[in-house]
Structures are given as structure tokens and as C-alpha cells.
Amino acid sequence: MTTDPVELTRRLVRCPSVTPEEGGALELLAAELSAAGFACTRVDRNGTANLFARWGARGHPKTFGFNGHTDVVPVGDAAAWTMDPFGAEEADGWLYGRGATDMKSGVAAFAAAAIDLVTETPPDGAVILTITGDEEGPAKDGTVAILDWMKDQGEAMALCLVGEPTCPKRLGDMMKIGRRGSVSAFFTATGIQGHVAYPHKAANPVAAMAKLIDRLSAAVLDEGNDHFDPSTLAVTTFDTGNPATNVIPASCRATVNIRFNDIHTSDSLAAWLGEQMAEVAAETGIGFDMTTAVSGESFLTPPGPLSDMIARAAEAETGIVPELSTSGGTSDARFVKDHCPVVEFGLVGHRMHQVDERVETAQIPKLKAIYARILREYFAQ
């Protein structure tokens, strides 16, 4: 009997696994996978729940890996939902619930495909699932923790498919072969507080910060390349915390975020930001400080065997050849890329994180069929 990915999705959605709560989702997956012969290990770290599951011999050179997450973002205004956020209710061909799109359906589809493969036609090789409960949160103790544990245990994937939603309009229309990096810079400008009627007795950090932000906003970081759009810089905060209209404040803060392609690294961008800041400090006499936070580096898995295999499977099941893209935000592929080649492919994602999040029910078994084709082709090679 084949494994029903829709029913497995329903059961997962009914688990209230809002980050950082496990909610029973990983326990459910571990039970299903263990029954099919997978060796399952909880790799929890600092209160974050993670699951590692392997079928086949450890260290087999032909090991297909899958990465996903069962944690979900908060419901938000529950009264705005027309369906129970954790009810997994169906209506008009849609399955509703938080995580239905991002990404319990993807996890269910791959788990179902993997279970059927190893129970019906056991391959010469191994299948690994790495499922985290920390993708929607800080992402410090999720996939990173699993990969750290794998290194210590001598576990390895030859390649990895991340099942995040990747398709903008129709199942099969896009896969992600890389991602932009993300670095945020936090600036503080410090001057001298004073009365606005006597500006010569003060040193206004607001004007200096405005000059810096204008300079950064006007900069062209690059023109993009064959696989990436141009890098972008966005101003996300500009604040003094000053409620008075007759006081020049002593300090001012601003934050920018850069989403960058593989022309840059976070270090090179931090150095550039520091240079711009130093120039404005010298021009204005205002003191500046900067700290940075990196969410991930830009990376690319060059088109090749893995992306070709995914494209063939998607076209066979949907009639669509996926576009190779590096658009969008960050994902846990930014961690997996240091372990093995990685590509992302999953369902249509435009309903994720929304009120009444939902997935077209018929697309879940179709995604399972794509994943099953990928697995069969990989182990037939």
C-alpha cells in the first residue's frame, strides 16, 4: 500500500508546531519513518527539536538527502481565519492550516515518496531526511545543529533537495539553484545635544545620518550576473527616539539590509559600509559606530546533474520545465550548501504565512510523484 501524502499533511498540520514548539510533528514523522525501516535520531539542541532519519548504510557514497522543517510561523489574528489554523480542514479543493504550504505538505510528500521507495523497491544506497523545528525562528540550532551532529557522527549526504515552496504560479515552474546573501548593518551616530535655536552649540547626528543613508541608498552595488539579479540595499529603520521639537538629539540610529549576489561576500560589503561611514564621519565631524549581522552568504549550485534530474521529473509530471532561479529570501539551503550540492524545489508558495494559509490538495500527491521520480532516477544511475 502506498503512503498517502495528503493524509500525512493533514496529520502534520494538526500539530501546533509554532516555533520553537515541536508540537508532535517530529514525533509523528519519526514514527512513520521508523515503521518503514529508517533509523531515526532526535538531534535537539538548546531546546530546539530536530530529526535525523536514515534508511540504508551510513556513509554509503550514493546517499540522497532531503531537508525541510515542521515549525511554522504564528497564527496571527486567529479571529481573521475562516478555518481552524490547526484543523487541517478541506474546502473547494484546498487544505487549510498554518504550515499547509510552508512546508508540511513538502515534508509529507517527500517522506511518503521515500517510504514507498524503500519498502517497495529498496535501492542500493541510502536516503536521509533532515527535518528541523527552527527554520522559521533564529535558525541557530536547527539545520545547523543537524549538520554539526552529522559531521561528528560520520553521516553525509551526497546531494540534497530542500522542499521549500519554490513555484510562483504553477507547480513545476521554478526551482532554486542558489540564494542571495543577507547582511544587516546597524549604525549609531553620536553628536552633541542642544537647543534647536542654537544649533552652533550642538552637533546634529540626524543630518549626518541622513547624509550616510542617502549615500548608501543611491549606491549601485553591481549589475547582477548570469544567475543573479543586482544586489539591493534597503533602509529598514531611521530613528532618534526624540519626542521634542526643540531639541537636537545626541544620537541617531539607522539600519540597512543588503541582499547580495555572489559578486560579494558579507565581509566585503561590511568593509564597504565601513568606508562609507568613515567618509561621512570625516565630512561631518559626527562620530559613528556600526555592527553587522549576517543571515547567510550568497551561494550557487551550478546547473548540472541535480537540477537536470529535478527538471526532468517536474516536466514528466507537470509538462513544465522549471526556471532556474536564485530569487527570494533565505532558506536553510544556505547551511546545507557547505555540506553538499543543494537545490530547492517544492509547491506554489504564494499562500504561505498568510491568514487562511492553504495548499491545493491535488498538488500534494503530484509533488510526491515528482519526488518519487527523482529518487528512482538517482538510484537507477
Domain annotation for the chain: domains and CATH numbers: 5-178+300-380 (3.40.630.10), 181-296 (3.30.70.360)
Neighbouring-strand partners of residue 186: 255, 291
Q: Which amino acid is at 308?
A: D
| Distances 283 to 81, 196, 214, 255 between C-alpha atoms, Å | 53, 21, 14, 20
Q: Which three cell numbers stand for residue 302?
A: 551550478
Tens of each residue's pLDDT in the chain, 381 residues: 799 999 999 999 999 999 999 999 999 999 999 999 999 999 999 999 999 999 999 999 999 999 999 999 999 999 999 999 999 999 999 999 999 999 999 999 999 999 999 999 999 999 999 999 999 999 999 999 999 999 999 999 999 999 999 999 999 999 999 999 999 999 999 999 999 999 999 999 999 999 999 999 999 999 999 999 999 999 999 999 999 999 999 999 999 999 999 999 999 999 999 999 999 999 999 999 999 999 999 999 999 999 999 999 999 999 999 999 999 888 999 999 999 999 999 999 988 999 999 999 999 999 999 999 999 999 998
Q: Which three cell numbers stand for residue 239?
A: 530613528
* Angle, vertex CA 117, rays to CA 128 and CA 160, nearest 5: 30
Active site annotation includes 297: no
DSSP per position, 11-53: HHHTS--BTT--TTHHHHHHHHHHHTT-EEEE--BTTB-EEEE
Residue from 102, 116, 134, 135 carrying the catalytic annotation:
135
Residue closest to 214 by CA, chosen among 240, 229, 233, 200: 233
Q: pTM above the 0.85 mark?
A: yes
Sheet holding 174-176, edge to edge: 39-42, 50-55, 126-132, 63-69, 159-162, 342-344, 174-176, 323-325
Q: Which three cell numbers stand for residue 199?
A: 544649533
Active site annotation includes 134: no
Residue from 32, 71, 134, 344 carrying the catalytic annotation:
71
